[in-house]
Amino acid sequence: MNRHIRLLTGISILIIVAAVLLPPFAQPDGYHYFADQRGFLGIPNFNDVASNLAFLFSGAAGLIFLWRVQQNPAQTTFQDRKESLPYWVLFSAIASVAFGSIYYHWTPDIDHLLWDRLPIVIAITALLSATLVERVSRAAGLGALPLLVVLAVLSVLYWYWTELQGAGNLNFYIVVQFYSILLIVWISLCFPSRYTHGNGIYQIIALYAVAKVFEMLDAQIFAWTNGWISGHTLKHLIAAYAAYRIVQILRKRTLVGCQ
């Protein structure tokens, strides 16, 4: 384990140094232009706005499940109830994605995008904390949770501040979001979970990857479906389903050896 931790620490330091030294990666000029701009019932960009309700459903389902676990003295989801803390942050952030993304897609611009990105990156770092708790060390994962959340917030605020200065820099935001996902995969490959259904994490990451591909193919999918649905709308629905898969996995899992 120590060898893996040292390697992880070394790579993480190199990634952070690279983010500092590499040229700033700016927000693409056409980022706020989405394929489906149709309004409905007085709501602009209706499909991209309304599809965010799926995040509210997934986040609320997770929070309700955690509340029920807290009320159940015979629960087997967590060996120690403290381990639920990253999931409280995770599902709260997922529910918040609904409001932040609705706010952004109602009027897509830099100022509104800030509130879309904050809960997304907080949710990803909370999942990283949960992965550390379940596969490396409870103390390490819970200790890392506040630090990871602060880094997530700072990465978005730094990007937003650079935009206000006229020289947007996404380097740190990209590192915190996508390197966190890579870390989740790497830790999952190197350390077995203390819980059953641990391999479900790969389904969740795969679904999120598919959602990102659909996001990049926003206009193409809108054209392929003859204007029925856009890639960005599908991205919301698939990412929200990935979040709901976490709830489904938590419902089924128990401590390894206690089935």
Q: pLDDT at position 168, please?
A: 84
Phi, psi at residue 43, to the nearest 5°?
A: -100, 120
DSSP 43: B
Q: Is 16 exposed, middle or buried (0-12, 13-18, 19+ CB in 10 A)?
A: middle
Taking alpha carbons only, the member of 92, 151, 88, 159 closest to residue 125 is 151
Q: Three-state SS for 35?
A: coil
**Phi-psi bin for 155: left (phi > 0), alpha (psi -120 to 50), beta?**
alpha
**To 10 degrees, the CA torsion angle through 230, 235, 236, 238?**
120
**Number of Cβ atoms within 10 Å of the Cβ of 203:** 15
| Domain residue ranges in the chain | 45-252
Looking up tokens 């708790």 gives 133
The span from the CA of 76 to the CA of 78, in Å, is 6
- pLDDT averaged over 10-residue windows placed end to end, the chain, 259 residues: 67 74 76 91 95 98 96 89 96 98 95 95 97 93 95 94 88 90 92 93 96 95 95 97 97 80
**Phi-psi bin for 246: left (phi > 0), alpha (psi -120 to 50), beta?**
alpha
The answer to whether 81 touches 106, Cβ cutoff 8 Å, is: no
Q: pLDDT at position 13, please?
A: 76
The span from the CA of 235 to the CA of 218, in Å, is 9
Q: pLDDT at position 167, please?
A: 83
The answer to whether 110 touches 27, Cβ cutoff 8 Å, is: yes
Going by CATH, does the domain composed of 45-252 fall within 1.20.120?
no
Q: pLDDT at position 258, please?
A: 61
For the entire predicted model, the pTM comes to 0.92
Sign of CA dihedral 119, 238, 244, 135: negative
